[in-house]
Structure 1
Amino acid sequence: MAHPLQRQAEIVELSPVGAYHRLVLRAEDIAERVLPGHVVAVAVGGPDSAMLMRRAFFVHRADPDEQTLEIVFSEQGGSDQGRGTRELAQARVGGTLDIVAPLGNAFPVPNGPVSALLVAGGHGSVPLFGLADLIREHGGSVSFILGAPDAGRLFGVDRAKELTPDVLVTTEDGSYGIRGHVTLPLAEAMKAIDAGVVYASGPTSVLRAVTETATKLDVRCFTAVEETMACGVGICGVGTCLACVLPVVGDDGVSRFARACVEGPCFDGTRVRWDDIGTVPPDVEGAAAMDLGVTGAY
């Protein structure tokens, strides 16, 4: 679990990057705490805004020397869709944003050399590049599969190619790389690099497919989920919205609802009940209370 701080962060840069926005923030003492897979929660709209809940984003880069955090976000599509990100896109360099970071549990990283395959759909690739750096620092090697509906919504292809020659790119419309879904070359890629672990980030459909393929090939699999986080700080632990929960099997074999913002966002893919996300399975501990409407609404 991260040890977050709340800061008034200076907006250093806000610029377009393909179909997305790149936001660089400067805040003291946070960057050195960030690990790949950690989240930053940003207050949007100002102190008088009706948007009470923060918007949560994966950290793309953290630079302790410059005391900066970088996030990448979309104004439409994905888990951060809506008024909040449209407001954020209008922020001005030199202004400030109230942030809390780092949040959540980061990706587990092997202590020694490993052959790792990193898979992402769209700008789900955001947390994977810092992860790739760590794996390489520990003597491992990385390969990427990056996909999107079209070339305009790919993110990080050039950066991936700086890290490794083993980069496969897919687009569903065939406008760049292999025509097809990002999961199309999964099994072949795992076998080709003799993968010891697979990391995936992006839509639930991608994470489910990656987990299924990795399980069949007996390869460890870790996933970063994109569940909508209403607060980013686990407020629902005291019985409010439960917006980002998903059913996860514990070490004791019991299924419980885990909060993406606290117990996640990075999970062992084999522990997540992908087909049951968005439902209240009767065998999940606490399901009866949820059916009675104890959680409220968001």
Structure 2
Amino acid sequence: MANPVQTRAEVLSRSVEGGYHRLLLSAPEAAPRVRPGHFATLACADSGRLLRRALAIHRADPEAGTIELVIAERGDGTRELAATPVGGRLDLIAPLGTPFPLPDGPVSALLVAGGYGSVPLLPLGEEIRRRGGQVGFILGAAGADRLYGVEQARAITRDVLVVTEDGSAGLTGRVTDPLAQAIRAIGATEVHACGPMPMLRAVTTIALGLGARCHTAVEEAMACGVGICMTCVLPVLGADGVSRFVRSCTEGPVFDGAKVRWDDIGTVPPDLEGAAAMGAAR
């Protein structure tokens, strides 16, 4: 788990980008600790909304002491946070979770995003390039208004595919449709993905089938965000060959896709460590 700090972060700027809201926050203690794939939590001012909202960190600037968050309005809580005025302060805890693994040297990586799953992948692509690697992007969404960061991706690499289910931008279909061809085209040995669970499962299957490693940032609902409540657990195969429930907020949100038991999410597999005790407790 990261070494997080809690602070009252001032909103330095806010803007609307497509269907999303971008907030730039002053967080000088947290910013130097952020790596691609980390997330943050924000508290709502309304005391009736007790749970913090977990948000992927888009970018961090250690020199400026700032963190950027991208918010999709999904309910009253995220709507309240997105509307925070410049000069307002938000209760921020960051960075949290386990980030994407960074290569020691040059690699060829394909980065696959669903909707605003591109938020952590864009700085990851920049870091891979900085280390001498090659990257490509597949950015997909239901429609053009749900895409995020297309021009940012094109500033990183020429290898950018845009896919929308309704055909309003780029190719018509899903990110998995051109995935195999894209992996072969850039000779990707690594695939990094962020988006809905069904997408991550399909991306993992295709990537592993072509001999590429796959790391996935899961979008699992979190209540506490710090590993206490156990609401965000997933069945994952450990290095010792034993499957256990692990927490998305601490051991994740980035997991080796080959280790996640995608078919068993939402269930208690009978071979899971502790499954017999769980059954007895019921």
TM-score computed with the length of structure 2 as normaliser = 0.97
Question: Would the aligned equivalents of 1:37 and 1:266 in 2 still touch at CA under 8 Å?
Answer: yes
Structure 1, unmatched stretches of 5+, are: 77-81, 237-241
The 1:293–1:131 alpha-carbon spacing in structure 2 relative to 1, beyond 3 Å, is farther
1:79 aligned residue: none
Structure 2, unmatched stretches of 5+, are: none
Deviations 1:245-270 (A, max 9, x none): 11110001111111110000000000
1:14 aligned residue: 14
Q: Which of residues 182, 187, 202 is equivalent to 2:175?
A: 182
Question: Would the aligned equivalents of 1:116 and 1:199 in 2 still touch at CA under 8 Å?
Answer: yes
2:223 aligned residue: 230
Q: Which secondary structure state, in structure 1, belongs to the residue aligned with residue 258 of structure 2?
A: helix
1:140 aligned residue: 133
Identical columns (%): 61
- Within 5 Å, give how 1:44-123 maps onto structure 2: 44-46=44-46, 49-76=47-74, 82-123=75-116
Distance 2:35 2:277 in 1: 35
TM-score computed with the length of structure 1 as normaliser = 0.92
Distance 1:153 1:199 in 2: 20
Question: Would the aligned equivalents of 1:10 and 1:95 in 2 still touch at CA under 8 Å?
Answer: yes
1:278 aligned residue: 266
Amino acid in the other structure paired with 1:148 = A
1:125 aligned residue: 118
Distance 1:293 1:115 in 2: 47
Matched, 1:264 2:262: no
Matched, 1:250 2:238: yes
The 1:132–1:98 alpha-carbon spacing in structure 2 relative to 1, beyond 3 Å, is same
Runs of 4+ in 1 over 2 A off after TM superposition: 286-294
The 1:121–1:293 alpha-carbon spacing in structure 2 relative to 1, beyond 3 Å, is farther
Question: Would the aligned equivalents of 1:60 and 1:69 in 2 still touch at CA under 8 Å?
Answer: yes
Deviations 1:174-229 (A, max 9, x none): 11111001111000000111111000000011110110001111111100001011
**Shift of residue 293, structure 1, vs aligned partner:** 6.2
What is the RMSD computed on CA atoms of the aligned residues?
A: 1.3
Distance 1:293 1:75 in 2: 38
Question: Would the aligned equivalents of 1:7 and 1:28 in 2 still touch at CA under 8 Å?
Answer: no
**Shift of residue 90, structure 1, vs aligned partner:** 2.4
Distance 2:237 2:146 in 1: 33
